[in-house]
A and B are shown apart, each in its own frame.
Chain A
Amino acid sequence: MRDPNAIDFWRGFALVTIFINHVPGNTFERYTFSQYGISDAAELFVFLAGWSIGIATRGRDGVPEPPGKSVLRLLNRTVEVYRAQLTVMLLALAIIAGAALLLDNPLILEWHNAGGFFADPIQSVCGMALLTYQLGYFNILPLYVLLIGIAPIFVIVGRFSLVAALLLSGGIYLASLVFAWNVPSWPGEGDWYFDPLCWQVLLVLGFVLQRWNARSGVLRRWARRLFPAGIVIVLVGIVLAVTEIRPDPMLVPEPRLLFTFEKTYLTPARLVHFLGVLLAFAPVYALLAPRIGPIVGYLTQLGRNSLAVFSMGSILSLIGQLVRFQTGGGLPIDMLVAGTGLIGLGLTAWFVEWRTRSKSPRPRT
């Protein structure tokens, strides 16, 4: 088991934030950082996934493992995430359908666009297997499957040149923005909520920055120098979020995706804001870690088991929404939902580690 570290800590932090934000309307939503900026926890989650790929495809000594092994490792991870997505989707649909039956309330069937599934199961079940049918709030994992699936390309290119990997990724990103490329949804019209062609840039950025960070101190020096810029960006983000000032997508010049704040396309404003958040908050872990030991322990345990915790978080947040809906919400209910949810996430992480421990005969260091 890994010792607590900044990556797992921030990933755990992102997981908790995503869980709270996926119970819309709850009291604690307004205390998450997502409400005070242009970008949110989804960016952090994808960036850290890329950073982790950088760590995972090297040995402890920093020597890269054979490329074939990296490809297999990422393929294995893709299968794991795909399996998690199918399981989570099935459970979510069952929870929605079960709640509608138990409460004799067909309104619930429309939840998160699940109505499409129940109206047309024949096409939808194909779309579910193809990842092109997604439920609202359940669209990060399909993105993740695709991103990890294409990650080997960037890892292999990165072996020769990290700059080339970044240029390739940035080129796809810019072209997707200019031509509004996205992966279509099916059945039904429209596109993916998270455009993989745009969001891949964050994964590759995480991967490349991890490599640069491991190689030399240049990146860290620049991060320190740019710290004030990060603070300014964060402050501007807060002002824009609180005042709800944003460009009118109908009035911005073409290509409009370069100027709007759309989450679907991870538009440049969101990317710049996220980098600002990164610069401003990167030093925070070192300051906090010695002071908030138990919280660091809890969050890093979540971060170490992010796939299981994320999957369980999706299910728990859906149940939390149903509980809020049926009871009418209110602070006590919100405390109950958030409290049991956070305990549930912790238990999930603990259970996964317990299972791993009990499977392997020799103790791990």
Chain B
Amino acid sequence: MVRRVAHPQQVSEAADVSAARPMSPLRTAILAALVLAASASHPLAEQAADPGAGETSLSLECRVPGAQLYTAAKLSAVQAALAEKRPIKLLAIGGSTAPGASASYPAKLEAALERALPKVDVVIDHRGLPGEIASGAAEHMRTMVVEAEPDLVVWQVGTHDAIARVEAEAFELALSEAVAWIRSHGIDVVLVDPIYTASMAADADYNRIVDAVRTVAMQQQVPLVRRYEALHYLSSRIDRGEGHFLGRQFRLNDLGLRCMAEHVALTIVTSLAKTETPADPKAAPAAPPLTGTQRAPG
């Protein structure tokens, strides 16, 4: 397999590779707008006007160009839940579990999704997942999924393995198995890769872990929130402006936590726009994990 270190310059070209055919931002926007026709509060169609300035559906401080923010892929189970007009059960795994002032991520995600998908009830269960995916945490994740029985798992993954200096190959294999397992039970997955922070930017191991998350997302054809890229983009914009009493990296981290919910919500909504509504909702879920070897470009 071709392995590529995630340098931001290269990555922006690689946007949207998980979709069978790459979509222009305009098309994505139109599709999203069709699905969200009822959503008057969220004029997604406007985003096509100036893609370089970032997704306009995002709040100003979180605005990142779509290509640097996500890769979309189909979300059949969520689409099926929408078609059946039942609440979407979402299991958010990883990250801070405590609902604090700067990290009320589950509440924000629920609000952002319900804003973007009017008349849809979103129920979020948020669990922390300590430990490494490559050794044991994947087992714990299975327990959580069985207990929560969600339609969609949004998984912030890679940080603990990166910190424990787990081999990227072992991590990638374990994550790939874990994602395939979730999907084999008819549950959708959205992956969220680790954060960007200046002191890790040149760390080859760390970049390999970020890369591995992307590879798994592509191989398993699941949407990916490219938090690393998004934060890297945002970091260039907060050079100016007020500082943080602990330093710039901590300010960026706060911003990243604040923006997580919006970024995840946009990825989900864009991915839903690419998912055709199943003709028969009952027969739709459980798309088996695709085994075709999709390789990273570049």
Contact = CB atoms under 8 A, between A and B. Distances in A.
Contacts of A29: 135
A187 B164 contact: no
Contacts of B194: 107
Contact of B95 (A115, A117, A118, A193): A115
B102 A325 contact: no
A120 B249 contact: no
Nearest to B254: A106
Contacts of A187: 97-99
B159 A110 contact: yes
A136 to B, nearest CB: 2
Interface string B126-145: 11101110111001101111
Contacts of B166: 24-25
B97 A321 contact: no
Max count, chain B CB within 10 A of own CB: residue among A112, A115, A249: A115
Interface stretch (A73-81, A83-91, A97-105): A97-105
A262 B143 contact: yes
Max count, chain A CB within 10 A of own CB: residue among B147, B163, B194, B195: B163
Given A107-B194, A249-B142, A188 B164 contact: no
B103 interface: yes
Given A104-B249, A115-B96, A250-B185, A324 B200 contact: no
A52 to B, nearest CB: 28
Contacts of B195: 106-107, 110
Contacts of A116: 96-98, 100, 103, 128
Given A104-B199, A107-B195, A193 B130 contact: yes
Interface in A159-187: 180, 185, 187
Contacts of A117: 98
Contacts of B163: 107-108, 111, 321, 325
Nearest to A265: B143
A255 to B, nearest CB: 12
Interface in A129-149: 133, 135-137
B101 interface: yes
Contact of A120 (B103, B164, B247): B103
Interface string A176-205: 000010000101111001000000000000
A115 B257 CA distance: 11
A230 to B, nearest CB: 25
A188 B97 contact: yes
A248 B127 CA distance: 20
Contacts of A24: 131-132, 135, 164, 166
A104 B143 contact: no
Nearest to B198: A104
Interface residues of B, number: 51
A250 B98 contact: no
Contact of B146 (A105, A250, A263): A250
Interface string A22-47: 00110001000000000000000000
A27 to B, nearest CB: 11
Contact of A190 (B96, B100, B103, B127): B127
Contact of B200 (A107, A133, A188, A190): A107
B257 A105 contact: no
A329 interface: yes
Contacts of B197: 105-107
Contacts of A137: 130-131
Nearest to B166: A25
B247 A188 contact: no
A107 B95 CA distance: 11
A124 interface: yes
B237 interface: no
Interface in B230-261: 246-247, 249-250, 252-253, 257
B114 interface: no
B98 A120 contact: yes
B164 A328 contact: no
A356 interface: no
A109 interface: yes
A227 interface: no
B179 to A, nearest CB: 14
Given A190-B127, A328-B165, A110 B98 contact: no
A213 interface: no
Nearest to B244: A106
A106 B251 CA distance: 9
B164 to A, nearest CB: 4
A261 B198 CA distance: 40
A338 to B, nearest CB: 15
Given A119-B98, A264-B140, A325-B165, A189 B198 contact: no
Contacts of A118: 96, 100
5 contacts: A25-B134, A111-B163, A113-B128, A116-B100, A120-B101
Interface of A: 24-25, 29, 101, 103-113, 115-124, 133, 135-137, 180, 185, 187-190, 193, 246, 248-250, 256, 260-264, 321, 324-325, 328-329
Given A104-B247, A124-B98, A325-B164, 5 more contacts: A25-B166, A29-B135, A104-B249, A115-B96, A188-B127
Interface of B: 95-103, 125-128, 130-132, 134-136, 139-140, 142-147, 159-166, 181, 185, 194-195, 197-200, 205, 246-247, 249-250, 252-253, 257
